[in-house]
Amino acid sequence: MNFPPPHHDHHRCIAQALAAAEEECRRRGARLTDIRRRVLELVWRSHAPIGAYALLEALGKAAPPTVYRALDFLLAHGLIHRIEKLNAFVGCAHPGHAQAGQFLLCRQCGAATELNDDDIEQAVRDAAGRMGFVVTALTVEAEGLCPSCRAGEGG
Amino acid sequence: MNFPPPHHDHHRCIAQALAAAEEECRRRGARLTDIRRRVLELVWRSHAPIGAYALLEALGKAAPPTVYRALDFLLAHGLIHRIEKLNAFVGCAHPGHAQAGQFLLCRQCGAATELNDDDIEQAVRDAAGRMGFVVTALTVEAEGLCPSCRAGEGG
DNA sequence: GGCTTAATGTTATATTATAACGTCCGGTTC
DNA sequence: GAACCGGACGTTATAATATAACATTAAGCC
Q: Do B119 and A142 touch (CB under 8 A)?
A: no
Q: What domains does chain B contain, in order, with CATH numbers?
A: 10-152 (1.10.10.10)
Closest chain A residue by Cα to residue B100: A142
- Going A121 to A127 to A128 to A130, the CA torsion angle's sign is positive
Contact of A146 with A110, CB cutoff 8 Å: no
* pLDDT in single tens digits along all 155 residues of chain A: 678 888 899 999 999 999 999 999 999 999 999 999 999 999 999 999 999 999 999 999 899 999 999 999 999 999 999 999 999 999 998 888 877 799 999 999 999 999 999 999 999 999 999 999 999 999 999 999 999 998 877 55
What is the pLDDT confidence band of residue B5, given thresholds at 50, 70 and 90? confident
- Which nucleotide is nearest, taking the CA of residue B33 and each C1'? D8
Helix B118-130 with A118-129: angle, nearest 10 deg:
180
Whole-angstrom Cα Rg for chain A: 16
Q: Do A132 and B85 touch (CB under 8 A)?
A: no
- Which nucleotide is nearest, taking the CA of residue A65 and each C1'? D19
Contact of B117 with A127, CB cutoff 8 Å: yes
Predicted TM-score of the model (pTM)? 0.94
